């Protein structure tokens, strides 16, 4: 099943636009899992078991595994997802960007080594960088467009010709890069007006939306500006707000409560077509 098919079905099956970011920091793990042989995997497994009926995606960030030499626990996490909830897509958040044979190896890392359904990529080097990913026609390619961090404006809002840089990224995503219809865009919740402009340029492309919760993004504004005509089109990520909702032995139950609250808040603002 292709990434896009999985995503659309997950939106419907769980009536959810929530993505849980699996960003485990060893220093923040609950005490009850720290002494497990594979503590990161134990933490992730409990979170997945608690939330898999509430989400449309999971998004592990590779840096949180590589920094601790825990790439095996990343692989174990993605394998566990494929076994226990194969219909929920997995986005590997790696933000890769390079050209030629190096890009091909990064694509192989994401899609063959780890078996992710999609991967985040940096478009700064242009089509040469993206093609190796895009050619995996059944996998998703999630392109940075208007990111949620405060200093993103330094480059993304620069004007070239008659528009800003992020608007060119959106244009190329909707046209030359989407030849396999497997493109998503990263558009931050912290810039809702820009999110609306990008939605006008890309009426059907799904958006991965970081910035809710700890970064201060507003759910209502994201839905107002970003949802598609059918009340979907968004993968709204929360990492810290869900996975660290509890610090004790009941951390997974706390994560479930946080994921439920976010799903319900999002659904209150979705178009009636989804009800």
Name 74's Cβ contacts closer than 8 Å, sequence gap at least 6: 60, 62, 65, 114
Element (H, E) at 208: strand 207-209
Q: How confident is the model over 184-201, as a mean pLDDT? A: 95
Instruction: Indicate if 38 belongs to the active site.
Output: no
Mean pLDDT of the chain: 95
Beta carbons within 8 Å of 82's beta carbon, 6+ residues apart: 90, 115
Do 228 and 201 touch, CB atoms closer than 8 A?
Answer: no
**The domain spanning residue 27 has which CATH number?**
3.20.20.70
Nearest to 77 by CA among 135, 150, 5, 23: 23
Q: Secondary structure of the chain: what % helix, strand, coil (to 5)?
A: 50, 15, 35
- Domain count for the chain: 1
**Whole-structure pTM value:** 0.96
Quote the pLDDT of residue 215: 66
Closest CA to 11 of 267, 200, 259: 267
Give the pLDDT confidence of 207-258 residue by residue, as tens digits.
Answer: 999 988 666 679 999 999 999 999 999 999 999 999 999 999 999 999 999 9
Q: Which domain holds residue 161?
A: 3-274
Catalytic residue among 38, 95, 131, 221: 95
Give the separation between CA 11 and CA 17, rounded to whole angstroms. Answer: 6
Tell me the pLDDT tens digit for each residue of 105-156. 999 999 999 999 999 999 999 999 999 999 999 999 999 999 988 898 888 8
Q: Is residue 256 classed exposed, middle or buried when 0-12, 13-18 and 19+ CB atoms within 10 A define those classes?
A: buried
Query: How many angstroms separate the CA atoms of 180 and 77, rounded?
Result: 28
């Amino acid at each position: 099943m292709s990434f896009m098919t999985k995503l659309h079905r997950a939106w419907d099956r769980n009536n959810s636009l929530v993505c849980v970011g699996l960003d485990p920091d060893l220093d923040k793990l609950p005490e009850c899992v720290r002494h497990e042989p594979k503590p990161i995997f134990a933490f992730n497994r409990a979170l997945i078991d608690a939330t898999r009926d509430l989400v449309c995606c999971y998004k592990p960030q590779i840096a949180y595994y590589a920094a601790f030499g825990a790439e095996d626990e990343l692989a174990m996490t993605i394998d566990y997802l494929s076994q226990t909830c194969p219909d929920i897509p997995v986005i590997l958040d790696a933000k890769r960007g390079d050209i030629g044979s190096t890009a091909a190896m990064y694509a192989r890392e994401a899609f063959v080594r780890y078996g992710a359904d999609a991967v985040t990529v940096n478009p700064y080097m242009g089509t040469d960088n993206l093609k190796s990913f895009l050619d995996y026609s059944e996998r998703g390619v999630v392109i940075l467009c208007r990111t949620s961090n405060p200093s993103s404006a330094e480059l993304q809002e620069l004007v070239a010709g008659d528009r800003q840089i992020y608007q060119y990224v959106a244009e190329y995503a909707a046209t030359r890069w989407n030849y396999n219809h497997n493109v998503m865009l990263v558009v931050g919740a912290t810039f809702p007006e820009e999110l609306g402009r990008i939605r006008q340029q890309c009426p059907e492309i799904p958006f991965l939306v970081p910035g809710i919760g700890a970064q201060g993004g507003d759910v209502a504004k994201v839905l107002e500006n970003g949802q598609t005509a059918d009340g979907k089109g968004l993968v709204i990520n929360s990492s810290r707000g869900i996975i660290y909702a509890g610090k004790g032995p009941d951390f997974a139950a706390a994560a479930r409560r946080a994921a439920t609250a976010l799903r319900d808040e999002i659904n209150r603002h979705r178009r009636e077509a989804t009800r």
